[in-house]
């Protein structure tokens, strides 16, 4: 492979158990080994960590990894140690003995990977220790946290540049999955001493199915989605702490293994819930975005949003928790008019410069457009990151779950209702006007005698609410008053009303309550009954070994390895080396146990 030493592929197989690099990895690793600053923007699940792990092993030298979350650092250390790689972390959750052990290994030159938070890296005492250890490079994970334009801005990331200079010109590499053009430019300026080589790879995650739906009894909608994936690991994101606990309790009543997770929980309970999700199969984490970057579990099979995400970047980052093993995964995002109005009010009420407000409104509009798009979801999502693809065939729009129609006439009727009622009423009132429902308040206001009253009697109130929501998302309507709500026309809305512009609208899918069976997206959908039985036995063996060692199940082997094992059914240790993800260290550690499990399952 061009630019890579012969040892690279040998270590990839012997340590990690992989026969080949994932797309984009080889050229980034070659650039890292060549020296100089590197910024790699790669989708979640594409193997960004390998871009600093393998160089540390090839060069047999120390790499310091900056990561934003302690739980994520500890998880990565466990995985590296399971592979026989000398790794450690210094953090406040470690016992004193663990930190002492890590410092001794650092002093003696025995570490290949040292994971630190940006706050700890900024400590002068640690900088002195690191200078003596002479690390080869500084790897900045989740590099978008340095940028105010990013969705996860962390002020302490701004100190990383000073720390890298204090380390004497150490090589800096940055890695992130979510960075639009403005964020990439900000990262390059703030993290690196000189312009980095930037590697921008496809943001597409073709193994993830994309589904959106307007809110219509959201608890029931999410429950139906979970029923499709019963027994699988997944995440349900909520916008409020209260809702995470209420939904988790509801899902438990329905027989799911569900746990809440948010920053307001008692620290010990939050850690227990997070550990249970990471360690056990089939657990549903009902979480706020506090559960975002810390999830390194490869076999998350679904992600649902009970509330509208805050931005396209946040949405992409959060659904990126699913299917990190490359196997099929599913998503569902619910959104509503209240969500949209709330997000816009948040932006308007922020104490930020007008240019920043304008950009945040543009980003929100991009998210609203993704929710309401009449064309391929994946095309719309990737276009936000300046990437063009053909229709994917794997989202709800491409699969024909969403009907699209020329919305000019419907838009004119709805906008006329807004105009003729004085541009101050909300969706429910406007739907009553359009359907000709003579409520007491409509009579008092005299709106039962306006020209628009009853002009939309051929459609339901739900359909008119959908039209109004889509017009709001398209920027044809704006909030009339921060205090009282309601809608007013924008310039774009006036153009639609006067027939100077066109618009396509979507019919909200009125999903048949009984038609709940949909195409399976589970990783095991292609397995026969025999392979499924063997896989269950392998998972049981993995669970027992993981509990004995006190590590998450995927640290032993991820699902993808067990599925490959169930299909190939190796009979010897040499055969086992041909299984995906089985390297020499794990073969020596677990090979006999899994051969025994395969033999027992075959009887």
Could you tell me which of 296, 345, 563 has the C-alpha nearest to residue 472?
Answer: 345
The two structure tokens encoding residue 426? 């909300």
Same-domain pairing of 110 and 227:
no
Who contacts 603 (Cβ-Cβ below 8 Å, separation ≥6)? none
Dihedral angle sign, alpha carbons of residues 181, 182, 188, 191: negative
CA dihedral 61, 66, 67, 73 (to 10 degrees): 40
Residues 142, 247 within the same domain: no
Tokens 């599913």 -> residue: 330
Total number of domains in the chain: 4
Residues of the chain with pLDDT under 50: 1, 510-520
Question: 431 and 540: one domain?
Answer: no
| Euclidean distance between CA atoms 405 and 422, whole angstroms | 28
Query: Does 49 map to a domain?
Result: yes
330 assigned to some structural domain = yes
- 577/495 same-domain check: no
Residues 187 and 227 in one domain: no
366 in a domain, yes or no?
A: no
Q: And the tokens for 81?
A: 């140690």
Q: Which domain holds residue 214?
A: 208-335
Q: What is the 3-state secondary structure (H, E, C) of 352-393?
A: CCHHHHHHHHHHHHHHHHHHHCCCCHHHHHHHHCCCCCCCCC
Check whether residue 470 and residue 416 sit in a common domain: yes
Q: Are residues 494 and 572 in the same domain?
A: no
- At 509 the pLDDT is 61
Strands (E), 118-272: 137-140, 171-176, 197-200, 208-209, 212-214, 234-237, 257-261
The number of residues in the chain equals: 603
Query: Domain ends where: 308, 335, 362?
Result: 335
- The pLDDT, as a whole number, for residue 517 is 42
Q: Looking at residue 355, what is its pLDDT?
A: 84
H-helix or E-strand spanning residue 64 = strand 63-66
Same domain, 220 and 236: yes
Q: Are 69 and 175 in the same domain?
A: yes
Sheet strands (E) in 49-152? 63-66, 87-89, 113-116, 137-140
Instruction: Say which DSSP state 555 is in.
Output: H
> Looking at 163, 181, 200, which one is the last position of a domain?
200
Give the Cα separation of 461 and 455 in Å (integer).
Answer: 12
Q: Report residue 473 as tokens.
A: 């998302």
Residues 499 and 562 in one domain: no
Question: How does pLDDT run across 154-192, given as a tens digit for each residue?
Answer: 888 888 988 888 988 799 999 998 777 888 888 999 899
Of 168, 200, 232, the last residue of a domain is 200
Q: Is residue 247 part of a domain?
A: yes
CA–CA gap between residue 33 and residue 8 (Å, rounded): 11
Query: Would you say residue 395 lies in a domain?
Result: no
pLDDT at 150: 61
**In a domain? residue 130:** yes
Domain assignment of residue 393, yes or no? no
Q: Is this structure's pTM higher than 0.85?
A: no
- 559, part of any domain: yes
Looking up residue 592, the CATH number of its domain turns out to be 1.10.150.80
pLDDT digits (tens, 9 = 90+) for 192-201: 988 999 999 8
Question: Measured on CA atoms in the order 147, 92, 69, 135, is the torsion positive or negative?
Answer: positive
CA angle 254, 257, 262 (to 5 degrees): 105
Residues 80 and 227 in one domain: no
Residue of 136, 145, 324, 344 whose CA lies nearest to 235? 324
For the beta carbon of residue 582, count every other beta carbon within 10 angstroms.
25
257: left (phi over 0), alpha (psi -120 to 50) or beta: beta
Helix axes 354-372, 461-473, angle to 10 degrees: 140
Which pLDDT does position 343 carry in this prediction?
84
Place of tokens 């720390």: 163
Burial 446-476 (b: 16+ CB within 10 A, else e): ebbebebbebbeeeebebbbbbbbbbbbbeb
Residues 417/452, Cβ–Cβ less than 8 Å? yes
Give me the CATH number covering residue 222.
3.40.50.300
Element (H, E) at 550: none
Distance CA 184, CA 180 (A): 6
**Is residue 185 located within the same domain as residue 232?**
no
Calculate ∠ Cα 297-522-301, nearest 5°. Answer: 25
């Amino acid at each position: 492979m061009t630019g890579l030493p012969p040892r690279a592929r040998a270590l990839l197989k012997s340590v990690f158990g992989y026969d080949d690099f994932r797309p984009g990895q080889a050229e980034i690793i070659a650039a890292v080994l060549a020296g100089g600053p590197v910024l790699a923007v790669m989708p979640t699940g594409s193997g960004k960590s390998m871009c600093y792990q393998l160089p540390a092993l090839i060069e047999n030298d120390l790499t310091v990894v900056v990561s934003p979350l302690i739980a994520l650092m500890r998880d990565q250390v466990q995985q590296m140690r399971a592979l026989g790689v000398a790794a450690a972390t210094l953090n406040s959750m470690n016992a004193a003995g663990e930190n002492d052990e890590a410092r001794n290994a650092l002093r003696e030159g025995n570490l290949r990977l040292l994971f630190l938070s940006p706050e700890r890296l900024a400590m002068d005492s640690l900088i002195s220790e690191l200078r003596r250890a002479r690390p080869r490079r500084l790897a900045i994970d989740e590099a978008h946290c340095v940028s105010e334009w990013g969705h996860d801005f962390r002020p302490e990331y701004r100190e990383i540049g000073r720390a890298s200079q204090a380390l004497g010109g150490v090589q800096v590499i940055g890695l992130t999955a979510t960075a639009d053009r403005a964020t990439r430019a900000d990262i390059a300026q703030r993290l690196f001493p000189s312009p980095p080589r930037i590697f921008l790879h496809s943001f597409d995650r073709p193994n993830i199915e994309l589904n959106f739906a307007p809110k219509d009894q959201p608890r029931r909608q999410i429950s139906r989605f979970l029923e499709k994936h019963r027994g699988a690991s997944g995440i349900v994101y909520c916008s409020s702490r209260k809702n995470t606990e209420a939904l988790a309790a509801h899902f438990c009543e329905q027989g799911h293994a569900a746990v809440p997770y948010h920053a307001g929980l008692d620290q010990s309970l939050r850690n227990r819930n997070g550990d249970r999700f990471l360690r056990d199969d089939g657990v549903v984490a009902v979480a706020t975005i506090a559960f975002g970057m810390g999830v390194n579990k490869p076999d998350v099979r679904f992600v649902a949003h009970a509330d509208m995400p805050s931005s396209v970047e946040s949405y992409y980052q959060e659904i990126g928790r699913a299917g990190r093993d490359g196997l099929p995964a599913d998503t569902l995002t619910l959104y509503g008019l209240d969500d949209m109005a709330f997000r816009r009010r948040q932006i308007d009420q922020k104490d930020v410069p007008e240019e920043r407000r304008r950009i945040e409104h543009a980003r929100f509009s991009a998210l609203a457009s993704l929710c309401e798009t009449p064309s391929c979801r994946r095309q719309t999502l990737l276009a936000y990151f300046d990437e063009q693809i053909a229709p994917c065939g794997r989202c709800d729009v491409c699969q024909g779950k969403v009907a699209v129609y020329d919305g000019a006439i419907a838009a004119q009727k709805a906008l006329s209702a807004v105009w003729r009622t004085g541009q101050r009423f909300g969706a429910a009132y406007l739907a009553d006007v359009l359907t000709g429902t003579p409520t007491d308040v409509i009579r008092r206001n005299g709106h039962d005698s306006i020209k628009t009253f009853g002009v939309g009697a051929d459609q339901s109130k739900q359909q008119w609410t959908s039209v109004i929501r889509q017009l709001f998302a398209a920027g044809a309507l704006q909030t009339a008053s921060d205090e009282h709500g309601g809608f007013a026309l924008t310039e774009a809305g006036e153009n639609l009303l006067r027939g100077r512009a066109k618009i396509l609208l979507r019919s909200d899918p009125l999903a048949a309550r009984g038609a709940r069976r949909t195409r399976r997206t589970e990783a095991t959908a292609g397995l026969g009954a025999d392979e499924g039985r063997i896989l269950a036995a392998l998972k049981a063996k993995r669970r027992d070994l993981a509990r004995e060692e006190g590590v998450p199940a995927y640290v032993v082997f991820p699902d993808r390895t067990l599925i490959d094992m169930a299909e190939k059914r190796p009979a010897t240790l040499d055969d086992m080396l041909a299984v995906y993800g089985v390297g020499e260290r794990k073969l020596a550690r677990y090979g006999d146990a899994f051969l025994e499990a395969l033999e027992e399952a075959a009887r």
